[in-house]
Amino acid sequence: MRIGHGYDVHRLVPERRLVLCGEEIPYELGLLGHSDADVAVHALMDAVLGALALGDIGHLFPDSDPKYKGADSMLLLGEVIGIMRGKGYALGNADITIIAEKPKLAPYIEKMRGNLANAFGCGIERISVKATTEEGLGLGGVGIGANAVVLLEEIDK
């Protein structure tokens, strides 16, 4: 087994979509970034790459490459999952914490879990998505952050 951790933050700005774990969430602000800025999926990809000691997504999908402008982070996740399988690993489980003062994410959590379970081709019980605020002490509504931890299991040959 191998364990990995990922962390990411993006700034909230007007006139951008808010996409978290592949789910578009209606809100007056969205996350700024070169891709769709799905901060939760970015943290998750970094966790998978970290478990494999393969660097990070900035290395794999450089923001200097116009190919990734506005990219769907779920498609990038698909590429990372392909790399994981190529190395002989499957997802044991993933635990993601999204840090946001607003909006309320509870109504979208199950859809987010389903999106990620579909991407990995695993049962939803292997995917945890949680949301927390920082009681106004941290990002304070100017951004959204995410932490992800994964356990990867070597596939029996």
Given the rule CB under 5 A, which residues bind Mg ion? 8, 42
Considering beta carbons, is residue 47 or 126 the nearer one to Mg ion?
Answer: 47
Residue position matching structure tokens 């970034």 = 33
Considering beta carbons, is residue 42 or 113 the nearer one to Mg ion?
Answer: 42
Distance of alpha carbon 73 from alpha carbon 22, whole angstroms: 7
CB of 68 to Mg ion, least distance (A): 11
Q: What is the dihedral of CA 33, 18, 9, 91, to 10 degrees?
A: -100
Considering beta carbons, is residue 126 or 148 the nearer one to Mg ion?
Answer: 148
CB of 57 to Mg ion, least distance (A): 7
3-state secondary structure of 56: coil
Residue 157 structure tokens: 């040959």
CB of 42 to Mg ion, least distance (A): 4
